[in-house]
């Protein structure tokens, strides 16, 4: 028999082996979870399925290990053999998963939702059963060799459990921060497998001989003392409940922390590491005292009370952690590494305290559960089993039931109450500690349980959904606070739901209504051009589509734009989060009630998984994933995803891929382009304007021809009206969206090295969190070398065939409409070579007006002369009429301005910018009825929320015609979009006075002063952001303006003095 006094040196050697095997096992778990998500998707159900199958295997392994442990001659050797088998099996997992999609597709396709979910669970369980069974059996078989009695139960079990968990921390961080970037997923899997193999071989050939045998050859196994009749006693059941709550806590806190830190792969890694670190340290630190505790079950019950208190503290702290994250980025700089550091600090601050208690409870539970003479390995197996099964059920219940049905806060409140009630039950079930102290503790826990459910004292939803990780600089006040408006909300939360996969909220804030996922704006009224064009570009550039797929619903605007096309018979929409479909109802006015369109079929699923298994083919696919640095969304930017898209397109089908240029650098962009280019032979690039942060890529395997370019006159009126709201008014505007040809895309790729983004190398997902705060302007310079635009497709002969008028209109569209000056200048030269035209003269006039360097009077005179010449050549030239009207209005020649703007509207009534100018001109001339009718006409088109100045320009005409209630409504609608507008607050005050509402007038007048003050303070903040993170020269210029506007601002004067000395005021 192995002596009960086994030397601690040998114990620590085994613990060291557990440290490395724990690291290897977590490396494998991270790899397998990732590979399985690629097969089954990133939905909560899919992720929960993987986790439950994994945990179930571990739990069954614990039971298995406990039953065989006492019959083994050498548990250390058995541990080594288990590790060797796990390592060998791990090498086989990636090849199996490579073939799994083809096999599972044929199995899953004919099944309904729940049968398919059950089959996925069965497949994952069978696939992972061998390694997880052996991983779970590890602890019981080692306990059989290393723990021989109750007196050392907690100490040694806590050591083994804590060290193994600490290894898991190293595996989590090592895989994410080191191995994935260096080797990719498949080779990281091989490294994890090699870790387990190496530990197994060392255990078998080095450690096991030091332990001899548990018993001599031929010696019968010792009879373990029988467990009490109720083996699954209330205490074990209670510990299973603790396992349930602990993993449910982790799921909920991870969701909450992601709203503060973002959902990058690194953020999730440090969240898991923080939780596991707490468990490991809790077990390692507390284990030494538990073997000497006279009433371990009473202490366990008290520990549940402490866990509940710390869980409350965690929930209460989240609002403060938002500010802590912002402060970290402020002090360490607007760089991706600051966000990762912030995630680390926030995760440990939130999770470490309660996780310490959870870690301490495991060795305490084993000590409390063991009976005199009972085999320690069997006790550990039972405790491990109930904890693991409870954890699996907790993770599943939290993600799939508690959080979606109750919300994060109420779900955690329920879990806290559950722990407290279990603690109370254990207090009265145990006999080691009785009397009044027990009653007092039980009463306190009961009162706390009731209070936490009735009034959970947790976080502010608006604070948590600010998305500080996304734009932390906007949350930095630098101690400059804004004055709150009276009886007016600048920010308003319209919708909030903790959904299956993420938290969805809708906000009304300056700029308009926006939809946020975990705090990050994923769709907004202010971003309408990208959403509309993501649907219109693939539908218009190429053959008319019949069947369309939209990946990602968000606001539904893209879906609505696609469904407008008469040729489209069906639009399939794949949306991961069901709550998005509810939230998108706030955008029904902008998406044409797309959900109610009979053409539209909504499929709640992972977009990648749907494409992998869908039997249909589509003429167009519009892919609108969130940013590639977000874990899960990143899977929609890989070569494999683009291959799925290509395989589900018809012969002349097109894929529209949306790429956010902010938060990326050139290598990351090239990596996505290489992945796309590897699957499609022709890729075209589109931008709504030069400074747009959203890059739209149109990929296909047949090149676009001249005949594939859309003509405005061929479009149905609903499609044209949809395009007008994003400032596309004609053929030239449509064509000017194209900025890069396939040849130019290939030139971009040739300008730098780098791999295509794949599922294995995760190049973009791993790189972009470090470039999270890069500006899109860095990418714009990437494109500026090219100056041909659609001319690359047209060629000089086709441009000549179009004629000088259309060529000049195209040049104007690039130069003025898209702010693509280089392309515009190139086309300007081409158009000039074709001969004179009214369009060319109008463009020359515009260039004269906008080109600095000459006296403004001279520039205006020259522009007017050119515009007169243009209209003499062609009186129906809209561009010339509009520019001449605008010039006359600026110069105060109102009658001339009215004549030209009315003529311009007669030429093209759809131009809302011309209608807006007409509102102002007619209002200035006193023709307020005409101004009002024009304004209401534009608002009836749904343009007010998209272009808020229409509210402000129509309101005075409404007031002047006696429509005071309508004027009030228009002004308040406009102020919801632009609240820091003193002039409009003044007009509102005047309207209230006219209405006889003196008190409201005084409030509006006071709000006008607040708007002016707040505007200046916001500008002051902006200057300090430049001083902290950007150009000192720019900050100095801005502070000079602040001081000029407010000479009494001593702080601004002091900061300006420091900047003039070349010093930052921090």
Residue-wise pLDDT for 497-517, tens only, equals: 999 899 999 999 999 999 999
Q: What are the residues facing 694 on neighbouring strands?
A: 660
The 3-state secondary structure of 491-511 reads CEEEEEEECCCCEEEEEEECC
- CB contact set of 725 (below 8 Å; sequence gap of 6+): 528, 532, 912, 941, 942, 943, 946
Q: What is the mean pLDDT of residues 762-786?
A: 91
> What does the alpha-carbon distance between residue 642 and residue 575 come to, in Å, rounded to a whole number?
18
pLDDT value at position 5?
47
Q: What are phi and psi of 523, to 5 degrees?
A: -160, 140
Q: Given a cut of 70, is residue 112 above it in pLDDT?
A: no
Q: Given a cut of 90, is residue 267 above it in pLDDT?
A: yes
Q: What is the mean pLDDT of residues 237-263?
A: 93
Q: What is the mean pLDDT of residues 772-801?
A: 90
CA 283 to chain centre: 34
pLDDT value at position 727?
95
Confidence of residue 293 (pLDDT cuts 50, 70, 90): confident
Q: Given a cut of 90, is residue 436 above it in pLDDT?
A: no
> What does the alpha-carbon distance between residue 123 and residue 126 come to, in Å, rounded to a whole number?
5
pLDDT value at position 44?
73
What percentage of the chain exceeds 90 in pLDDT? 74
Architecture of domain 1-215: Up-down Bundle (1.20)
pLDDT value at position 530?
95
Q: What is the mean pLDDT of residues 640-646?
A: 96
Alpha-carbon dihedral sign for residues 550, 553, 554, 559: positive
| Residue environment code for 340-376, b if the CB has 16+ CB neighbours within 10 A, otherwise e | bbbbbbbbbbbbbbbbbbbbbbbbbbbbbbbeeebbb
Q: What is the mean pLDDT of residues 186-209?
A: 93
> 70-74, 251-255, 273-277 — which is least confidently predicted?
70-74
Q: What is the mean pLDDT of residues 291-320?
A: 92
- CB contact set of 283 (below 8 Å; sequence gap of 6+): 158, 159, 161, 162, 165, 359, 360, 362, 363
Please give the order of strands across the beta sheet that includes 520-524: 492-498, 503-509, 512-517, 520-524
pLDDT value at position 100?
73
The tally of CA atoms less than 13 A away on the side-chain side of residue 854 is 12
Could you tell me the two tokens for 827? 């086309």
Please give the order of strands across the beta sheet that includes 600-604: 600-604, 570-575, 547-551, 618-623, 649-660, 694-700, 682-686, 738-740
Q: What are the residues facing 374 on neighbouring strands?
A: none
Mean pLDDT for all residues in the chain: 91
Architecture of domain 238-475: Up-down Bundle (1.20)
Q: Given a cut of 90, is residue 1024 above it in pLDDT?
A: yes
pLDDT tens, 844-871?
999 999 887 778 888 999 999 999 999 9
Q: What are the residues facing 512 on neighbouring strands?
A: 509
Q: Given a cut of 90, is residue 119 above it in pLDDT?
A: no
> What does the alpha-carbon distance between residue 549 and residue 783 come to, in Å, rounded to a whole number?
29
Q: What is the mean pLDDT of residues 550-578?
A: 96
Task: Measure Cα distances from 516 to 144, 267, 530, 1061 in Å.
Answer: 53, 19, 16, 42
Q: Do residues 352 and 274 lie in contact, with contact meaning Cβ atoms separated by under 8 Å?
A: yes
Q: Given a cut of 50, is residue 83 above it in pLDDT?
A: yes
The answer to whether domain 1-215 and domain 238-475 are alike in fold is yes
Confidence of residue 66 (pLDDT cuts 50, 70, 90): confident
Give the strand pairing for 570-575 and 547-551.
Answer: parallel
Q: What is the mean pLDDT of residues 613-623?
A: 93
pLDDT tens, 152-163?
788 888 999 999
The tally of CA atoms less than 13 A away on the side-chain side of residue 728 is 29
**Of 469, 526, 246, nearest in space to 338 by CA:** 469
Q: What is the mean pLDDT of residues 45-74?
A: 83
Architecture of domain 527-783: 3-Layer(aba) Sandwich (3.40)
N-to-C CA span, the chain = 69
pLDDT value at position 174?
97
Confidence of residue 191 (pLDDT cuts 50, 70, 90): very high
Q: What are phi and psi of 213, to 5 degrees?
A: -125, 150
How do the domains of the chain map onto residue ranges?
Answer: 1-215, 238-475, 527-783
Q: What is the mean pLDDT of residues 657-674?
A: 95
Q: Given a cut of 50, is residue 230 above it in pLDDT?
A: no
Q: Do residues 423 and 301 lie in contact, with contact meaning Cβ atoms separated by under 8 Å?
A: yes
For the whole model, what pTM was predicted? Answer: 0.93
**Of 690, 688, 738, 730, nearest in space to 712 by CA:** 730
pLDDT value at position 300?
92
pLDDT value at position 104?
64
In degrees, rounded to 5, the angle at the alpha carbon of residue 973 between the alpha carbons of residues 970 and 978 is 120
Task: Please list the alpha-helical segments (H only) found in 961-1030.
Answer: 964-977, 982-994, 998-1029
Could you tell me the two tokens for 641? 């995803």
Q: Given a cut of 80, is residue 583 above it in pLDDT?
A: yes
**Of 811, 836, 805, 841, nearest in space to 823 by CA:** 811
> 80-89, 214-223, 654-663, 1039-1048 — which is least confidently predicted?
214-223
Q: Given a cut of 90, is residue 295 above it in pLDDT?
A: no
Q: What is the mean pLDDT of residues 450-473?
A: 89
> What does the alpha-carbon distance between residue 810 and residue 598 come to, in Å, rounded to a whole number?
37
Q: What are the residues facing 550 on neighbouring strands?
A: 573, 622
Q: What is the mean pLDDT of residues 266-288?
A: 94
pLDDT value at position 939?
96
pLDDT value at position 189?
96
> 71-75, 421-425, 567-571, 625-629 — which is least confidently predicted?
71-75
Angle between helices 856-873 and 878-890 (to 10 degrees): 150
> 200-209, 741-750, 834-843 — which is least confidently predicted?
200-209
- CB contact set of 990 (below 8 Å; sequence gap of 6+): 959, 1001
Q: Given a cut of 80, is residue 97 above it in pLDDT?
A: yes
- CB contact set of 656 (below 8 Å; sequence gap of 6+): 534, 535, 537, 538, 620, 621, 622, 623, 696, 697, 698, 699
Q: What is the mean pLDDT of residues 309-313?
A: 95
Q: What are the residues facing 618 on neighbouring strands?
A: 649
pLDDT value at position 105?
63
Could you tell me the two tokens for 586? 């706030």
**Of 336, 339, 1058, nearest in space to 1066 by CA:** 1058
> What does the alpha-carbon distance between residue 1019 and residue 297 come to, in Å, rounded to a whole number?
61
The tally of CA atoms less than 13 A away on the side-chain side of residue 469 is 33
pLDDT tens, 929-969?
999 999 999 999 999 999 999 999 999 999 999 999 999 99
* DSSP assignments along 356-377, one per residue: HHHHHHHHHHHHHHPPTT--HH
């Amino acid at each position: 028999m192995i002596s009960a006094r086994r030397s601690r040196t040998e114990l620590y050697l085994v613990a060291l082996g557990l440290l490395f095997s724990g690291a290897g096992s977590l490396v494998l778990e991270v790899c397998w979870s990732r590979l399985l998500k690629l097969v089954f998707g990133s939905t909560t159900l899919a992720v929960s399925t993987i986790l439950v199958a994994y945990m179930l295997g571990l739990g069954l392994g614990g039971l298995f290990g406990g039953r065989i442990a006492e019959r083994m001659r050498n548990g250390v050797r058995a541990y080594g053999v288990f590790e060797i088998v796990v390592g060998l099996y791990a090498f086989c997992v990636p090849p199996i998963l490579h073939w799994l999609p083809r096999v599972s597709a044929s199995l899953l396709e004919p099944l309904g939702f729940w049968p398919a979910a059950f089959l996925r669970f069965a497949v994952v369980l069978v696939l992972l059963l061998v390694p997880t069974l052996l991983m779970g059996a590890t602890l019981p078989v080692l306990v059989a060799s290393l723990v021989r009695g109750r007196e050392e139960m907690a100490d040694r079990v806590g050591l083994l459990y804590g060290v193994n968990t600490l290894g898991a921390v190293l595996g989590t961080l090592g895989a994410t921060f080191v191995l994935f970037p260096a080797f990719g997923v498949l080779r990281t899997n091989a490294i994890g497998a090699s870790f387990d193999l190496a530990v197994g071989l060392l255990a078998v050939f080095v450690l096991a001989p030091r332990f001899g045998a548990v018993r001599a050859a031929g010696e019968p196994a010792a009879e373990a003392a029988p467990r009490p009749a109720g083996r699954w006693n209330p205490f074990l059941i209670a510990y299973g409940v603790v396992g349930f709550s602990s993993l449910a806590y982790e799921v909920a806190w991870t969701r909450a922390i992601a709203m503060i830190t973002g959902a990058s792969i690194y953020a999730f890694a440090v969240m898991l590491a923080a939780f596991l670190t707490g468990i490991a340290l809790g077990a390692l630190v507390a284990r030494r005292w538990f073997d000497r505790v006279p009433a371990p079950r009473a202490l366990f019950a008290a520990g549940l009370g402490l866990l509940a208190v710390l869980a409350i503290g965690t929930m209460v702290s989240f609002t403060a952690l938002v500010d802590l994250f912002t402060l970290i980025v402020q002090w360490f700089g607007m760089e991706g590494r600051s966000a990762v550091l912030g995630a680390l600090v926030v995760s440990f601050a939130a999770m470490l305290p309660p996780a310490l208690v959870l870690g301490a409870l495991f060795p305490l539970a084993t000590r409390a559960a063991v009976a005199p003479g009972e085999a320690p390995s069997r006790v550990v197996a039972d405790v491990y089993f109930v904890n693991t099964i409870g954890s699996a059920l907790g993770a599943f219940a939290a993600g799939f039931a508690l959080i979606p049905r109750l919300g994060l806060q109420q779900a955690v409140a329920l879990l806290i109450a559950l722990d407290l009630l279990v603690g109370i039950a254990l207090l009265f079930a145990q006999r080691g500690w009785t009397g009044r102290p027990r009653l007092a503790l039980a009463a306190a826990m009961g009162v706390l349980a009731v209070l936490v459910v009735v009034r959970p004292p947790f976080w502010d939803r608006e604070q948590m959904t600010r998305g500080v990780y996304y734009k932390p600089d906007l949350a930095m006040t630098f101690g400059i606070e804004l004055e709150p408006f009276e009886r007016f909300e600048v920010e308003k939360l319209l919708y909030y739901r903790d959904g299956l996969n993420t938290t969805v909220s809708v906000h009304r804030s300056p700029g308009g209504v926006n939809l946020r996922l975990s705090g990050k704006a994923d769709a907004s009224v202010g971003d309408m051009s990208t959403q509309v064009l993501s649907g219109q570009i693939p539908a218009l550039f190429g053959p008319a589509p019949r069947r369309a797929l939209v990946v990602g619903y968000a606001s539904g605007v893209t879906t609505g734009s696609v469904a407008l096309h008469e040729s489209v018979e069906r639009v399939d929409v794949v949306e991961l989060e069901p709550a998005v479909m509810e939230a998108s109802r706030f955008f029904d006015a902008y998406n044409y009630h797309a959900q109610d369109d009979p053409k539209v079929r909504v499929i709640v699923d992972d977009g990648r998984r749907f494409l992998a298994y869908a039997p249909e083919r589509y003429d167009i696919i519009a892919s609108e994933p969130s940013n590639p640095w977000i874990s899960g969304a990143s899977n929609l930017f890989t070569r494999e995803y683009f291959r799925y898209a290509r395989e589900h397109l018809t012969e002349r089908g097109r894929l529209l891929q949306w790429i956010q240029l902010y938060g990326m650098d050139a290598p990351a962009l090239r990596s996505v382009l290489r992945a796309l280019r590897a699957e499609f032979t022709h890729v075209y690039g589109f931008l709504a304007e030069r400074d747009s942060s959203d890059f739209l890529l149109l990929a296909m395997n047949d090149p676009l021809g001249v005949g594939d370019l859309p003509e405005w006159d061929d479009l149905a009126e609903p499609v044209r009206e949809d395009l007008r709201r994003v400032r596309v008014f004609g053929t030239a505007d449509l064509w000017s969206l194209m900025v890069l040809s396939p040849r130019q895309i290939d030139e971009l790729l040739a300008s730098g090295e780098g791999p295509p983004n794949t599922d294995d190398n995760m190049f973009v997902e791993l790189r972009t969190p470090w470039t999270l705060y890069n500006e899109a302007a860095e990418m714009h310079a990437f494109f500026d070398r090219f100056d041909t635009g659609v001319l690359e497709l047209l060629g000089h002969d086709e441009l000549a065939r179009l004629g000088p008028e259309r060529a000049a209109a195209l040049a104007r569209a690039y130069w003025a409409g898209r702010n693509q000056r280089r392309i515009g200048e190139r086309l300007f030269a081409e158009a000039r070579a074709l001969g004179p035209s009214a369009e060319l003269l109008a463009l020359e006039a515009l260039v004269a007006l906008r080109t600095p360097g000459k006296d403004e009077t001279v520039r205006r005179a020259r522009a007017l002369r050119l515009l007169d010449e243009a209209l003499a050549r062609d009186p129906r030239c809209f561009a010339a009429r509009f520019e001449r009207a605008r010039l006359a209005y600026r110069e105060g020649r109102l009658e001339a301005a009215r004549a030209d703007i009315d003529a311009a509207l007669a030429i093209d009534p759809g131009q809302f910018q011309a209608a807006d100018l007409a509102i102002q001109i007619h209002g200035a001339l006193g023709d307020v009825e005409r101004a009002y009718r024009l304004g209401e006409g534009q608002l009836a088109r749904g343009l007010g929320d998209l272009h808020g100045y229409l509210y402000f320009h129509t309101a005075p005409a409404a007031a002047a015609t006696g429509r005071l209630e309508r004027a009030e409504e228009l002004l308040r609608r406009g102020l919801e979009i632009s609240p820091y507008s003193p002039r409009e607050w003044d007009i509102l005050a005047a309207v209230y006075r006219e209405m006889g509402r003196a008190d409201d007038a005084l409030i509006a007048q006071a709000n006008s002063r607040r708007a002016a003050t707040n505007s200046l303070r916001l500008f002051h903040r902006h200057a300090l952001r430049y001083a902290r993170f950007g150009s000192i020269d720019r900050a100095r210029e801005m502070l000079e303006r602040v001081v000029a506007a407010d000479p009494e601002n001593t702080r601004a004067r002091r900061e300006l003095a420091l900047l003039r000395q070349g010093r930052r005021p921090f």
